[in-house]
Amino acid sequence: MHLISIILIGLASNIDNLGIGVSFGTRSTKIPIVSNLFIAILAMAAAYLAITMGHLISGFMSQKHADLIGGSVIILLGLWSILPKQRTRVATSPLRETSDSERSITWQETISLGFALSLNCIATGFVAGVSGASPIMTAISVGTFSLITVAIGLRIGHEIARTWLGKYSTLIGGMILIVIGLMEIFL
């Protein structure tokens, strides 16, 4: 699998994290760096496990077939995520605001948010594994983009929430998945 695909998988797996960061940023709720790091570690673990499972299955087929199946599933995931009637979207905030003056999320909220966002990495990671992605490199990409997208969303949440990017983050993530799938099939 190409390095560009690994980077795009990391980005696509975490586009919802940008929306989450924006959501919290618009409400002046902080996600401390330790909480953001914990969320990224959960995403990396989910991606690594899913990619490893995908590798095990890919041992039973040729690379050409694996790329075709993996690329097709990535395209279907992208299409599924952008079709409004078929999508069940992770809530932009299943969490409550804390009562302290900084309005930071609690550890309990961090754990639930981390698990919810990790679910995005499982399907994409599994397909990446079938397509031959490096588990370590892809997991690092997923974790890095998790940290980056939450931090960016928090910093510019009040501005980005009113732009097209904040409103269409699911569409953008779906389109990125479709492009990755096409690259896996044809490149």
Instruction: Give the SS3 label for residue 104.
Output: strand
Provide the whole-model pTM: 0.70
- So what's the pLDDT on residue 93? 44
Q: pLDDT tens digits, residue range 139-176?
A: 999 999 999 999 998 887 767 656 766 677 667 767 87
**For 140-177, b where at least 16 C-beta lie within 10 A, e where not — what string?**
bbbbbbbbbbbbbbbebbeebbeeebbeebbbbbbbbb
The answer to whether the beta carbons of residues 118 and 13 sit under 8 Å apart is no
Distance CA 36, CA 15 (A): 15
Q: Which of 58, 65, 39, 80 is nearest to 128 (CA)?
A: 58
What size, in residues, is the chain? Answer: 187
- What single DSSP character describes residue 14? T
Q: Does residue 99 carry a pLDDT above 60?
A: no
